[in-house]
Chain A
């Protein structure tokens, strides 16, 4: 994503002098990656104060946390790039995880995960149809379906926790590949796929186009309605995938397993640098944003910060990151008016 842009600029025939190359290419690269710099600085600082941070058990813990948010945030990034939003994350995760827990005693691990993704797709489709054809604003439509899906989950389970006994399932979802937790590996793969989908396909172009200017996109003949529905379906699948891993980690599923999770997901996307106005989306930023929140939460725990103060600090970081982002964005936009 970011690195790509720079490569492309070099690929053109324009050859600016050294000084302007520095200004046009290198500086934006550094300033765009400021979030990675913050992440590294934060990790080093916490590691210095509490060496246990770098212990392999702790790092794997952080990566697990980042993966759950990150997986759902991949779908959310595409939605936000299209100027859309989905608040029903917690409901989709609950319903699909409960389906996994219910189905596992009867089927294979693969078919259970397949079922979860299918349910995610169907719930996403419901959201997409409500927004696109019933024309309810995404915020309201998905707030409604959040309650709908949650209610469904509670009715299904009778409000009880469903245990997840399959050893194979737990081994798969909580295991690691070459020392890296499986969900994190899956997150990297999903993030790369989402990037390619958003930036290298006609579908992704349509999503960014209607996120940028919906009226112009439909006048240009782009299949706006179809793409809108599909991007909700894609997001639903990514939420369900996050849910499948969460259920494995918790060894159970229940209605309120992901209550309030949608806000963590949106926070990761926005802190990562995807503007809520739509038109653009950065998957690298989203992954970094998810990592940043996971590291921060972990650090505050290690440092023994009281849990109420953790809320305060997390909120402060969120606001500071957006404030910096807003300043940078407005600096870039001034030229458009010339």
Chain B
């Protein structure tokens, strides 16, 4: 079949980097092509070029055999290319319907036909299985719903090619399944789909063939049936993958570092009880909205608790701000690295040093930061955490998600915390850096930190935690120990089914 979209020998350069080094790909109607690669491999660049957001330095784009120059996103849309981008491009103050038809409003003579806009939006939302009023403003939606609105927006246009850049990063299990059905239905209607994801199981579930990018080059292109997961990962990394082995050797000590008793938190139905020992990694599982985010926020003083007790190392604490929480030995990393983690204008060294405990430093460094000393401290972190960064004065915004997360873990390490709360520690992190981050979390625990990992990624929890608490609609529905911490048990309990073998009231 003739390709509906083709790129030939695309080269893209940024100051100092060659992001794409001559990539050629064809996209055929009716097929779902997976596009995989580590962060920085050039996937996003390729998508931005296809979406008309960037222009390549060299190379051509062909739409149905015609050479096309995509100068901006309306050119791309006119050529039949619709993009669901990884970063939301919604206007939070507008309604769902207005957002869906933003840029191609329905109406005549500049007057918007509200009724038709709402009807059509309702239809699209229904197709996506969303029970939302099209009149609701986007700012009131959860991240998952916003992602779905973003998809509805792409579907509202006439397109031949649909590009989806990590559409499931913010979705829960049921939503992912629904999205996969939609993707397959669109493919059967003859659309060409480009599907980018870090979750390889997704790629294997829905793609017909897969293209692997590494360092701006097309490394492999094959039908999905001809590959297995290990081969795919090897293509992505350019080496055999390391496997993270759960170290079951060191039993967590009995010394309780974090003790939470009857903590009442707004948004969580029942009081929370929790105890985490030194060296223990405890997982919090559950769907988005199950209350686990509120628990970590509350322990970190960001969402004040209504009543109950929290103690760290036997000392009662009542953090009313993040600053107080850090002083009493609790540190948290948010799931939203970009808006609640990194300080984009500051370099990696400063980003790692902002929360550093200064109590034990020499007098001079208590009052002013000493560059030499901080440089050396960052250099130690860089080696210990395998942060891939050329020098300590690099701005953090220029790093990949995985490296940013490592810098933030370094920030947590230097804060000297005894309790570390992590939210979605590997969201948007590629396969290679994921294993590094798991190891770092384990190393932190082995150093005596009590770690709580809140994650919607069940395989991740199964891989790293010693004990897993599963929440459903604000209730703790299961507590899984040791060998019972499996992906299946977590997923079953998360959707409200009680795990039979280990049920706690």
Contacts and interface: CB of A to CB of B under 8 A. Distances in A.
A160 to B, nearest CB: 47
Interface string A10-41: 01111000001001100000000000000000
Contacts of B189: none
B16 A338 contact: no
B344 interface: yes
Contacts, number: 111
Interface residues of A, number: 38
B481 to A, nearest CB: 32
B225 interface: no
Given A9-B391, A12-B391, A337-B44, A209 B343 contact: yes
Interface string B297-314: 000101000000000000
Interface stretch (B23-31, B334-342, B430-438): B334-342
B345 A212 contact: yes
Contact of A209 (B19, B332, B354, B375): B354
Contacts of B354: 205, 209, 217, 220-222
A223 interface: yes
Nearest to A222: B354
A145 B415 CA distance: 39
B326 interface: yes
Nearest to A333: B397
B346 A212 contact: yes
A23 B332 CA distance: 39
A23 B344 contact: no
A213 B397 contact: no
B405 to A, nearest CB: 14
Interface of A is mostly: helix
Interface centre among A12, A213, A220 (most CB of B within 10 A): A220
Contacts of A202: 367-369
Interface string B319-336: 001110111000010100
A179 interface: no
B390 interface: yes
B402 to A, nearest CB: 13
Nearest to B350: A205
Given A216-B339, A222-B354, A201 B369 contact: yes
Contacts of B350: 205, 209
Interface of A: 5, 8-9, 11-14, 20, 23-24, 200-202, 205, 208-209, 211-213, 215-223, 278-280, 331-332, 334-338
Given A200-B369, A212-B345, A278-B345, 15 more contacts: A8-B393, A20-B16, A23-B15, A23-B16, A201-B368, A212-B344, A212-B346, A219-B332, A219-B340, A220-B411, A221-B325, A221-B355, A279-B344, A335-B17, A336-B344
User: 8 closest pairs, A vs B, by CB?
Assistant: A279-B345, A221-B326, A12-B391, A212-B345, A336-B397, A212-B343, A221-B323, A220-B354
